[in-house]
Amino acid sequence: MKEMSQSNILEQLKDKIYLIAGDASPRKFYRYSNKKQLLVYCTKDKKNNLENYCKINNYLNLNKIKAPRTIKKNIKNNYIIIEDLGNNLIKNIIKKKINKSYYFKKIINELSKLQKIKHNKILPNYTKKLMISELNLFYKWYLPEFFSITKIKKIKNEINLILINHIEKIVKFNKVFVHRDFHIENLILYENRICFLDSQDAVIGHPGYDLMSLIDDVRINLKKKEQQKIYDYYVSKNKKKTNEFNFHFHVLSIQRLLKILGIFLRLYRRDKKKKYLQYLGRTWDLIELRLNHKKLKDLNTLFNKYFTKDIRKKKWI
């Protein structure tokens, strides 16, 4: 049977749906006018963007972690229909600065539940190889803005020599469900519950990873005191108050933040999406914060050698 084109699908439903703001993925989201449902359309990497999207969400719901339910799957024709959880994004709640601490505690409580569910074979391991491939986004997309190919190779080798050594030790602690994109635009309040969006990239990983993604979210400017308060609440609740856990937290944050620099430049250069450039300065602020760990002096020295203030504070738009 011949696949329907996007225009055919939208033409059939033109009086019933309308386009809403999406995310950094190639998915497009359409809201039904008369029911609590969303049509998600995607032609690129359907296995991840549609198949895994449904599979992980369904698995979360089975384990009493709220995510959008799948109502209909039509992968062949590039779309799925899912439950509409509304517009009450945590991002908008946090921006109002009303009772932030209350909502972050709710998020940590739900994250703690997430980390206790039994993970089965549907989730891949967050391997050293995968973490290095993410780092490569930084080298491939961000560094060419400032350095020659020869210099990039040198910088890459020097950073990897230090960072990969730490990553090799950290991945030995992979044992919990990791959302992997745990930031305030992927969390929504629905019927007074914290619900998870965009879980399709989930892996088995380190218990500090999602915590770090939340605390060092480049989309919000949490004060150091606020960051520490969230961290302390998590470690107290989950009995993780060790120097080792704290060090892993810092290393994971640096790895993720470098990946983010690469992703945001790729979105800008390849996909013509400018809105993420506004977060690059904050990303560097957080990298500097995490490089200040006493065990990362050598890496901090390396970054100070290559990444000047002009690079870190560049005005992109």
Output the pLDDT for position 8.
65
Residue of 241, 219, 218, 239 lying closest to 228 (CA atoms): 241
3-state DSSP assignment of residue 140: helix
pLDDT on residue 2: 43
Name the nearest CA neighbour of 285 among 221, 212, 211: 221
State how far the alpha carbon of 86 is from the alpha carbons of 32, 36, 55, 57, 67, in Å: 11, 8, 21, 16, 12
6-83: CATH topology is: Phosphorylase Kinase; domain 1 (3.30.200)
- Taking 70 as the pLDDT cut, the residues of the chain under it are 1-12, 14-15, 22-24
Quote the pLDDT of residue 204: 97
Please write the tens of the pLDDT for every residue from 11-22: 667 667 888 876
Backbone angles phi, psi at 210, to 5 degrees: -70, -35
Coil, strand or helix at 82: strand
HSE-CB for 218 with a 13 A CA cutoff: 25
pLDDT at 213: 98
Angstrom CA distances, 38 to 33, 41, 68, 223, 247, stand at 10, 10, 10, 35, 41
Could you give the residue ranges of the DSSP H alpha helices within the chain? 6-12, 46, 53-62, 90-95, 100-114, 128-137, 149-170, 209-215, 224-238, 243-269, 280-291, 297-306, 309-312
| 248-294 pLDDT, tens digit each | 999 999 999 999 999 999 999 999 999 999 999 999 999 999 999 99
Q: What percent of the chain has pLDDT over 90?
A: 80
Alpha-carbon separation of residue 178 from 196, 205, 295 (angstroms): 12, 6, 25
| Beta-carbon contacts of residue 30 (< 8 Å; ≥ 6 apart) | 10, 13, 17, 18, 19, 20, 38, 39, 40, 41
> Do residues 142 and 277 touch, judged by C-beta distance below 8 A?
no
Task: Kindly report the pTM of this predicted structure.
Answer: 0.92
Cα angle for residues 42, 83, 214 (degrees, 5° grid): 80
What residue segments make up the domains of the chain, in order of their start?
A: 6-83, 90-312
Which two tokens mark 200?
Answer: 């399709």
For domain 90-312, give the CATH number: 3.90.1200.10
